[in-house]
Amino acid sequence: MPIDPIQQADIEALRAQSFSTRRATVPALEEILYQALPVLDHGFVRVIDYMGDDGAVVQAARVSYGRGTRKVSEDAGLIRYLMRHRHSTPFEMCEIKYHVKLPIFIARQWIRHRTANVNEISARYSILDREFYLPAPDQLAAQSAINRQGRGDVLEGDEAARVLDLLREDSMRSHAHYMELLNEDDDGKVLDESRTGLARELARMNLTLNTYTQWYWKTDLHNLLHFLSLRADSHAQYEIRVYAEVMLKTVEAWVPACYAAFRDYRLGAVTFSGAMLAVLCRMLAGETVTRESSGLGQREWAEFQATLAGSAPG
């Protein structure tokens, strides 16, 4: 359960508020503001605040005084031009702030994107909840034999059940020991008056990496789209990809013209190296090109062939 009743009541109180403003607002994003969008088994993504809209990107590109009288189609055309030619600063004029609940091992992957402002819950001051990420059975896969960073065949039967049992048992035992080290229960009350608990900043080292953490993550639209281009990609790890997919929906609600351009020129596009493009031109001219005559390395040739076939290389 990503949100408990008390947290849900707080969210509903926030969503019940309304303010008059001269700032640009986006009705579709206002509809989901503060709402916890579930991810994985206990995680969520919430939009907490935002600044700007499609019009802000256009306004910054034209450096105009106001929203102007341009048609929506003209604004969308400019946004597509900016996206197509990899302009960045107009997209940096929009910002968004998320509240994210995610497993620690995904947070450590996520934090590699260093262009955001981040504030994470501190286990030096707070006691982390007894919540762990346990993969769904269809995500329990063996190590890929050809991709050191990826997954292979899905585990089945007794083997899969044993893996889940181990993950669950280790998580529960580690958290129980964590609470014992603290000498506190979930409400912060002392468990044993006869002894002193370990400092929170030390006790936390006993927790497993599938324990859930939370943070506020604020970034501009340009850097958000870069994050999503990598993490919503089919090659990204499943557990971070599902967060990116939820965030994509918030971007579509927030800046639909920017999202459409991003979908066409980033998510749905491919990039050829100069050597690949030269090979493609030879093939279009009717020449039969082999890997040996292409001048491409074996891996680059495989990627090139997979791209032409419309599939990801194995």
Rounded CA gap, 274 and 310, in Å? Answer: 19
Q: Determine contact, residues 42/212, Cβ cutoff 8 Å.
A: yes
Q: 231 catalytic, yes or no?
A: yes
- Catalytic member of 46, 200, 204, 231: 231
> In angstroms, rounded to a whole number, what is the distance separating the alpha carbons of residues 38 and 100?
10
Residue among 45, 44, 82, 35 nearest 62 (CA): 82
If you average pLDDT over residues 142-164, what whole number do you get?
82
pLDDT of 114-127, one tens digit each? 999 999 999 999 99
First to last CA, the chain: 36
Asked if 269 and 41 touch (Cβ cutoff 8 Å), the reply is no
Q: Is the pLDDT of residue 312 over 70?
A: no
Whether the CB-CB separation of 95 and 52 falls below 8 Å is answered with yes
Average pLDDT of the segment spanning 146-160: 80
With contact defined as beta carbons under 8 Å apart, do 161 and 242 qualify? no
**CA distances (Å), 263 to each of 93, 164, 166, 272, in order?**
20, 36, 40, 18
pTM recorded for the entire structure: 0.90
Contact between residue 222 and residue 91 where contact means Cβ atoms under 8 Å apart = yes
84: Cβ contacts below 8 Å, ≥ 6 apart: 261, 265
pLDDT of residue 314: 46
Neighbour tally for 263: CB within 10 Å: 15
Q: What is the mean pLDDT of the chain?
A: 91
**Contact between 89 and 57 (Cβ < 8 Å):** no
Instruction: Kindly state the average pLDDT of the residues 245-262.
Output: 98
